[in-house]
Amino acid sequence: MPSSRDLAVAVLREPLVHFLVAGALVFLVLSGRPPNATERRIVVDEPVLESIFNRYVQSFHRPPTPEEIDGLVQDYIRSEVYYREALRLGLDRDDEVVKKRMRNKMLALSGAEAEATQPSDTELQALLDKDPARYAAPPRFTLQQHYLGADTPTLRAAAKAAIAAVKPGSAPDLPTVTSALPDRFDDASPSDLAAEFGDEFAESVSKAPVGRWTGPVLSGFGLHVIKIERLTKAPPPRLEDVRQSLENDWRFAAVRKAEDESFKSMLRGYDVVIERPR
């Protein structure tokens, strides 16, 4: 037993139905929609005149003369007549330029309110609580590093042995390579270290013990031995300290959310049928 939807689909595929629908459309377009009283009234009142006047001033930086105003008003009336007749004939339909323009206007309207809204502290606090790690100040490492050279099995073994043999108060006994890599970092964040050595090294530092030499640790350059002297963890972020970041994120998301929601709410008023040819 075909469902009513299947039936509708089948009917819609019928050439005769296409013909009838097309005919009805032609009839509708040619006969026009029934006129209504407001559509048939063109009022040039003060607000309209003011807007005509202002546009002129904006373009030409002087007020229009009375003759020019007359001309502009005649032009406004002409535009209105054409515009309304065009709408009555349905010329706005299936016009890509009109569609795009309308879409942009709708989009601008839906996002503008969010853009200009000032989020409340409660909203910002909620955003902060959702992902405190994103806004937290990073931990800070004060450390020494010795660069040993490119990664080779021999060098790895030597580094391991030297670390195992290291005596308290002294550094591992290993030949180091001089480079522009600083031997010492004071209060460096993981992102500072990642920029300098690569992500892998920064991760190793985050996991390394504090207060003794450890390694070998791999970086983009090769092998290192490191000693973390001090690790300072930041307290949880407070709203006051990260307000600007929170507002930026809130606003960025709010504008997109408003656009999306307004689209979805409008979409709910429609039945969307996608017919793929079989």
Partner 1 sequence: MRREILLAALLLGTSGLVAGCDQLKKVAGGKDVVVKETEFPERVLWGDTHLHTANSVDAFGFGVRLGPEEALRFARGEEVTSTTGLKAKLPRPLDFLVVTDHAEGLGATKALYDAPRLLIRDETMLRWYDMMHEGPAGSQRAMAEILDARGRNALPKAMLNQDGTAERTKSVWNGNIDAVERYNEPGKFTAFFGFEYTLMQGGNNLHRNIVFRDGPDRVRTVVPLDPTYKATPDEIWSYMEAYEKATGGRVLAIPHNSNLSNGLMFELTQPGGGPMTAAYAKRRARHEPVVEITQIKGDSESHPFLSPNDEFAGFGVAGWELNNLLGNQPKVSSMFAGEYVREALKRGLLLEQQMGVNPYKFGLIGSTDSHTALATADENQFFGKHTGNEPNPARATQEQNLGTRKGRFGWHYLASGYAAVWAKANTRASIFDAMARREVYGSTGPRMTVRFFGGWAFKENDLKGDWVRAGYRRGVPMGGELSASKKGAPSFIVSALKDPIGANLDRVQIVKGWVDKSGKLQEKVFDVVWSNPEKRKPAGGKVPAVGDTVNVATASYTNSIGAPTLAKVWTDPEFDPSVRAFYYVRVLEIPTPSWPAFDAVRYKLKLPPEVRVKQQERAYTSPIWYTPTKA
197 binds partner 1 (CB under 8 A): yes
Determine, following the binding rule CB under 8 A, whether residue 31 of this chain makes contact with partner 1.
no
Q: Which of residues 109, 161, 234, 266 is near partner 1 by CB under 8 A?
A: 109
Long-range pairs of 156-165 with CB within 8 A, sequence gap ≥ 24: 156/216, 156/223, 159/215, 159/216, 159/223, 159/225, 160/215, 160/216, 162/225, 163/213, 163/214, 163/215, 163/216, 163/225
What residue type is 178 in one-letter code?
T
**Does 195 help bind partner 1 (rule: CB under 8 A)?**
yes
Task: Give whichever of 162 and 255 is closer to partner 1, judged by the CB atom.
Answer: 255
Piece of the chain touching partner 1 by CB under 8 A; list 17-25, 101-109, 204-212, 270-278: 101-109
Least gap, CB of 144 to partner 1 (angstroms): 13
Q: Does 220 bind partner 1 (CB under 8 A)?
A: yes
Our finding on whether 247 is near partner 1 (CB under 8 A) is yes
Query: Judged by CB under 8 A, does residue 252 bind partner 1?
Result: yes
| Region from 4-12, 111-119, 228-236, 261-269 binding partner 1, contact rule CB under 8 A | 111-119
Longest CA span, the chain: 99
Handedness of CA 171, 176, 182, 187 (dihedral sign): negative
Return the residue of 192, 203, 229, 263 that touches partner 1, per CB under 8 A. Answer: 192
Name, in order, each residue with C-beta under 8 angstroms of 188's C-beta and a sequence gap of 6 or more.
140, 141, 142, 143
Decide if residue 125 touches partner 1 (CB under 8 A).
Answer: no
Residue 228 or 254: which CB sits closer to partner 1? 254
Of the candidates 152, 83, 129, which has an alpha carbon nearest to the alpha carbon of residue 239? 129
For residue 70, the number of C-alpha atoms closer than 13 Å in the C-beta half-sphere is 3
Q: Does 241 bind partner 1 (CB under 8 A)?
A: yes
- What tokens appear for 256 in the block? 């997109």
Nearest in space to 83 (alpha carbons), one of 31, 42, 30: 42
Applying CB under 8 A, among 13, 93, 100, 230 the residue interacting with partner 1 is 100
**Of 123 and 199, CB closest to partner 1:** 199
Report residue 6 as tokens.
């299947």
Binding mask of the shown chain, residues 127 to 166, with x at each position contacting partner 1 by CB under 8 A: --------------------x--x----------------
Fill in the DSSP letter of residue 210. Answer: B
Sole window of 15-23, 157-165, 218-226, 264-272 interacting with partner 1 (rule: CB under 8 A) = 218-226
Q: For the residues of 34-92, what is the DSSP string, one character each?
A: PP-TGGG-----HHHHHHHHHHHHHHHSSPPPHHHHHHHHHHHHHHHHHHHHHHHTTTT
**Residues in touch with partner 1 (CB under 8 A):** 51, 54-55, 58-59, 61, 79, 96-97, 100-101, 104-105, 107-109, 111-112, 115-116, 118, 147, 150, 177-183, 191-192, 194-199, 201, 219-222, 240-241, 243-245, 247-248, 252, 255
